[in-house]
């Protein structure tokens, strides 16, 4: 596959305007189409071979627990053997794939982006039903997947160009180039099951690596649908191997294998640290120190100063705290507000939150749907109880119901103190902790006083205060006078500090370097 297309400058995929009736009808039709496909069985894919296993597990619609989205061959039942086969297949495929020209590799990404763009609502509908995304959230996820494919394809072509070096004083010809690493373990999360999964997988592929993809057991169907896209564009076998398990066994085998050259992970702090520790161990037959690219979440804060536009701040807080049920690593889970405007702001935030509709995500007017699973539901309800036990006051929400789906009302808890449990620990649910600060300096101090450092936002009309945030707010993605969610590929390279991970800066111009190594070549002339 040779690429001869003239590439336009990268532009972000536009979001769908669901206020238009024609777009509403298209989305309804896509949901009907996907609903007709629910409950199908899906295999493991190794070296292009589709393997049915006796042991299965089900992917369930979190907003309707009676609905089985997909039934999957459970590779945890034979994890060591299947992972070994997948890594061996990827190792063999690497020997040829690494020498495929960058432009040709990029063409597979561009073709995949075209397919997803043409069937945008179809892929969004899978996310509505499999992970509980509302229409707008699912559409944003699909658009981001397209962006990653388009952006990383262009970036690989750029990195394959002649790289600048200092002219040698010696009579020699010199050049510097980037080469791929090898076989990568790709372990994406369930909360951006198309965008992050596709971005993590294809950033490794376009740089010349081969992969074993283990999607989350909470979102395997959308990952399989992406595998179908890769098959449709003709990606050679063995480059992406699909091995999904119901638990941790597959991931453990991938991480520990001496043939794995790098691990790309997005998920919780606990799992990320475990992967980091295991990857640091050299095992028999291992010839390298493994690279780990990890994005591990956050305890993100929006700081509201006493001179802020209160209406703008309230709107940004509600969107960032409760979009996709707060299940974003960038979500606002802490609102830190100057005591002088605390009461005014909280009243506006509560009023806006009261307007949110809690319901099934397949309904167009739903604002907040169910959290992903029983564990997440139980964890969130326990945190709400802990917040009250430690002296917080639930001013709205707090109720939960898991009879039909895992529904938790958007919940705001005021009177939270620095170092309280819900002020420090990631909840990953529609629960917002409100902390009152004495002044702006105190607010920034509270904001920085966590183990994390992913996103943060400041609302203030003072340029001096905004500059102070630029210098002192220790997060990888800082937003001024806007919400702390909604990073765009290429516009806001994404990744955080401290226990938020390795600051990967996904969607940034340096991201692909994590999957390559530099080679300097000098020839005497």
| Of residues 394, 42, 451, 15, the one with CA closest to residue 225 | 42
CATH T-level fold of 300-488: Aldehyde Dehydrogenase; Chain A, domain 2 (3.40.309)
Residue 289: alpha-carbon gap to chain centroid: 25
Determine the pLDDT at residue 274: 98
Start and end residues for every CATH 3.40.605.10 domain found in the chain: 21-296+504-524
pLDDT band at 1 (very low <50, low <70, confident <90, very high): low
What percent of the chain lies above the pLDDT cut of 90? 99
| Of residues 60, 95, 104, the one with CA closest to residue 180 | 95
Are residues 72 and 54 in contact, defined by beta-carbon separation less than 8 angstroms? no
pLDDT band at 278 (very low <50, low <70, confident <90, very high): very high
Are residues 11 and 50 in contact, defined by beta-carbon separation less than 8 angstroms? no
Start and end residues for every CATH 3.40.309.10 domain found in the chain: 300-488
The verdict on whether 295 is a catalytic residue reads: yes
| Average pLDDT of the residues in 306-317 | 98
Strand, coil or helix: what is 508?
coil
Is the pLDDT reported for residue 5 higher than 80? no
Chain mean pLDDT for the chain:
97
**Please, what sign has the CA dihedral across residues 189, 191, 197, 199?**
negative
Determine the pLDDT at residue 4: 58
In the set 295, 423, 425, 426, the catalytic residue is 295
State the CATH architecture for 21-296+504-524. Answer: 3-Layer(aba) Sandwich (3.40)
Is the pLDDT reported for residue 2 higher than 90? no
- The position carrying tokens 């604002």 is 367
Is the pLDDT reported for residue 290 higher than 60? yes
Neighbouring C-beta atoms of residue 95, cutoff 10 Å: 9
Structure tokens given for 359 = 């319901």
Are residues 443 and 305 in contact, defined by beta-carbon separation less than 8 angstroms? yes
Determine the pLDDT at residue 6: 83
| Average pLDDT of the residues in 66-75 | 98
Are residues 294 and 501 in contact, defined by beta-carbon separation less than 8 angstroms? yes
In the set 329, 332, 423, 484, the catalytic residue is 329
Is the pLDDT reported for residue 260 higher than 90? yes
């Amino acid at each position: 596959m040779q690429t001869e297309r003239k590439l336009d400058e990268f532009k972000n995929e536009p979001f769908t305007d669901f206020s238009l009736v024609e777009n509403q009808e298209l989305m309804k039709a896509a949901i009907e189409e996907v609903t007709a496909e629910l409950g199908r069985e899906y295999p493991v894919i190794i070296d292009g071979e589709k393997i049915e296993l006796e042991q299965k597990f089900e992917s369930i619609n979190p907003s309707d627990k009676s609905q089985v989205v997909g039934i999957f061959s459970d590779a945890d039942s034979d994890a060591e053997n299947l992972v070994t086969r997948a890594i061996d297949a990827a190792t063999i495929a690497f020997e040829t794939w690494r020498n495929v020209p960058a432009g040709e590799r990029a063409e597979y990404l561009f073709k995949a982006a075209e397919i997803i763009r043409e069937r945008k609502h179809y892929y969004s509908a899978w996310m509505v039903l499999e992970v509980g995304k509302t229409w707008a959230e699912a559409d944003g996820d699909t658009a981001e997947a397209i962006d990653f494919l388009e952006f990383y394809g262009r970036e690989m072509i750029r990195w394959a160009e002649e790289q600048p070096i200092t002219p040698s004083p010696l009579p020699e010809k010199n050049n510097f180039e980037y080469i791929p690493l090898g076989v990568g373990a790709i372990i994406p999360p369930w909360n951006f099951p198309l965008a992050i999964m596709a971005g993590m997988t294809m950033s490794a592929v376009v740089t010349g690596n081969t992969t074993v993809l283990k999607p989350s057991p909470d979102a395997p169907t959308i990952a399989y649908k992406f595998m179908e896209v890769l098959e449709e564009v003709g990606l050679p076998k063995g480059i992406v191997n699909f091995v999904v398990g119901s638990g941790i066994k597959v991931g453990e085998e991938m991480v520990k294998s001496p043939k794995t050259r790098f691990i790309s992970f997005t998920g919780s702090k606990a799992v990320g640290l475990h992967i980091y520790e295991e990857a640091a161990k050299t095992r028999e037959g291992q010839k390298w120190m493994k690279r780990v690219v990890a994005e591990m979440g956050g305890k993100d804060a929006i700081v509201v100063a006493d001179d802020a536009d209160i209406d703008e701040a309230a709107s940004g807080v509600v969107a960032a705290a409760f979009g996709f049920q707060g299940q974003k690593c960038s979500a606002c889970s802490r609102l830190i507000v100057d005591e002088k405007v605390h009461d005014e702001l909280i009243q506006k935030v509560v009023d806006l939150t009261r307007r949110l509709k809690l319901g099934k995500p397949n309904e167009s007017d739903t604002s907040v749907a169910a959290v992903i699973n029983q564990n997440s539901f139980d964890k969130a309800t326990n945190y709400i109880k802990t917040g009250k036990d430690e002296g917080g006051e639930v001013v709205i929400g707090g109720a939960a119901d898991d009879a039909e789906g895992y529904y938790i009302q958007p919940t705001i808890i005021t009177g939270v103190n620095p170092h309280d449990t819900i002020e420090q620990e990631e909840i990953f649910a529609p629960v917002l902790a409100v902390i009152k600060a004495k002044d702006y300096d105190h607010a920034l101090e509270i904001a920085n006083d966590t183990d994390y450092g992913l996103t943060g936002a400041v609302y203030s009309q003072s340029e001096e205060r905004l500059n102070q945030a630029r210098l002192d707010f220790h997060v990888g993605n800082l937003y001024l006078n806007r919400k702390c969610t909604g990073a765009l590929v290429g516009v806001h390279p994404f990744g955080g500090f401290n226990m938020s991970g390795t600051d990967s800066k996904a969607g940034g111009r340096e991201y692909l370097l994590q999957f390559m190594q530099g080679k300097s070549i000098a020839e005497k002339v």
